[in-house]
């Protein structure tokens, strides 16, 4: 049995347990097993959780398929003996199980948020005599009553509170004028207890996103959408942006934490939005990847994706990226989050990404789950950007 990837070995036991659970879910799907049928997982160190999980599944597979069925030495594919035993028992051989590492954004985000909390505590200790007591502050402005935006804003506020960041919420009615919104932003720009400002998008019809976002002070633009911040991101050899858009930054952070080096790799980005596609492409170019951006007018997208060592999909279409588009060993970052009908779920739907999950598991070397991949990293990066802004402010005092 091969040792578990180093990325799992460094996690504390709860995080390793989650990694093992995600791994078991993927392998069980490939082997056609119920997780309820698995032997009880015994307590073990974080460095052996993944191995233990694979052994549990191997034991269950042996019982399920035929006596003598075993897993291969890698712990992720049926061995020749397993296939032969299953065939002799008259059972169809199970599908090849995945070797993909799951890029666990939920666990990684929890680690980042803990690091942010430590930085916040240090600021409060060092700048206790400051007018705001050294406490970083984030102002979140929402216009209108979109339920999805309200839910997202609540999660941001909760994350701030957990990290010790002061959260200031402003909810404006949908019929507010653009001038009143900009007046509020200018007021927040002048407040010394507010170090980051975020205006929740989309804005109601009739408001100009560009004008509104550019009204935010450059140093307080924690979403990274100010024209100067975005321009600095696009230019090499200049002053770096004050902040990088949170979702793209989360993608890079996740790759870094799992030891995926983009240098020299072919990266294909699906989607060219200002929020994800374009900034991800720029960040990967800064890391010396060779980047191709695909969009609605790209011809033969599948052929382009087949050349990729790293695929980042942000198109918002469930199952858009086919497994046959992926070359073996590719790293897949699925930014898409889509609701599809599912009568078996209490809510009547389930969340899926842009990538065909089951097929990609058996091809990719690493992949983000949906949900639990990029999503948690977005809010974690917002906290990082806010603390970065606060540190700059206090150092200038």
Q: Is there a catalytic annotation at residue 265? A: no
The answer to whether 335 touches 276, Cβ cutoff 8 Å, is yes
CA distance 245 to 279: 7
Q: Is there a catalytic annotation at residue 124? A: no
Q: Which of 30, 104, 156, 220 is catalytic?
A: 156
Check the CA dihedral 183-187-188-189 and report its sign.
positive
Check the CA dihedral 343-346-349-350 and report its sign.
negative
Q: Which of 223, 309, 334, 388 is catalytic?
A: 223
The answer to whether 99 touches 75, Cβ cutoff 8 Å, is no
Cis preceding-peptide flag for 371 (omega within 30 of 0): yes
The answer to whether 243 touches 221, Cβ cutoff 8 Å, is yes
Q: Which of 77, 106, 200, 249 is catalytic?
A: 200
Long-range CB pairs of 236-244 (<8 Å, 24+ gap) are 236/286, 242/218, 242/388, 242/389, 242/392, 243/385, 243/388, 243/389, 244/279, 244/283, 244/381, 244/385
Q: Which residues contact 91 (CB under 8 A, 6 or more apart)?
A: 65, 66
The two structure tokens encoding residue 159? 């994350």
Q: Which helix (H) or strand (E) holds 142?
A: strand 137-143
Q: Is there a catalytic annotation at residue 175? A: no
**Which residues on neighbouring strands pair with residue 294, listed in sequence order?**
270
CA distances from 372 to 67, 187, 206 (A): 36, 36, 35
Residues with a known catalytic role: 156, 200, 223
């Amino acid at each position: 049995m091969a040792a578990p990837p180093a990325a799992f070995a460094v996690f504390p036991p709860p995080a390793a347990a989650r990694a093992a659970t995600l791994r078991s879910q993927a392998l069980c799907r490939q082997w056609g097993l119920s997780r309820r049928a698995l032997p009880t997982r015994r307590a073990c160190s974080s460095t052996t959780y993944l191995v233990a999980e694979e052994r549990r599944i191997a034991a269950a597979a042996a019982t399920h398929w035929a006596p003598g069925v075993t897993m291969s030495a890698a712990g992720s594919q049926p061995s020749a003996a397993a296939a032969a035993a299953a065939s002799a028992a008259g059972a169809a051989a199970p599908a090849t199980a995945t070797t993909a590492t799951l890029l666990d954004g939920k666990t990684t985000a929890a680690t980042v948020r803990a690091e942010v909390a430590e930085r916040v505590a240090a600021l409060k200790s060092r700048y206790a005599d400051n007018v705001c007591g050294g406490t970083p502050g984030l102002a979140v402005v929402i216009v209108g009553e979109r339920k999805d935006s309200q839910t997202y804003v609540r999660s941001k506020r909760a994350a701030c509170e957990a990290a010790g960041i002061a959260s200031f919420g402003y909810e404006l009615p949908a019929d507010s004028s653009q001038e009143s919104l900009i007046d509020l932003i200018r007021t927040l720009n002048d407040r010394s207890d507010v170090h980051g400002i975020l205006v929740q998008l989309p804005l109601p019809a009739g408001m100009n996103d560009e004008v509104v976002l550019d009204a935010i002070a450059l140093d307080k633009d924690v979403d990274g959408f100010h024209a100067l911040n975005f321009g600095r991101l696009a230019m090499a050899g200049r002053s770096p942006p004050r902040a990088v858009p949170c979702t793209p930054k989360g993608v890079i952070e996740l790759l870094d934490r799992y030891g995926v080096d983009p240098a020299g790799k072919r990266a294909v980005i699906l989607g060219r939005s200002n929020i994800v596609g374009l900034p991800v492409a720029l960040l990967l170019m800064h890391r010396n990847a060779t980047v191709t951006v695909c969009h609605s007018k790209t011809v033969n997208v599948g052929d382009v994706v087949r050349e990729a060592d790293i695929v980042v999909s942000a198109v918002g279409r469930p199952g858009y990226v086919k497994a046959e588009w992926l070359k073996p060993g590719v790293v897949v970052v699925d930014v898409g989050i889509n609701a599809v009908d599912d009568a078996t779920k209490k809510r009547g739907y389930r969340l899926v990404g842009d990538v065909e999950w089951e097929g990609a598991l058996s091809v990719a070397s690493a992949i983000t789950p949906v949900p639990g991949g990029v999503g948690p990293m977005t809010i974690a990066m917002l906290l990082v950007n806010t603390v970065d802004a606060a540190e700059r402010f206090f150092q200038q005092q």
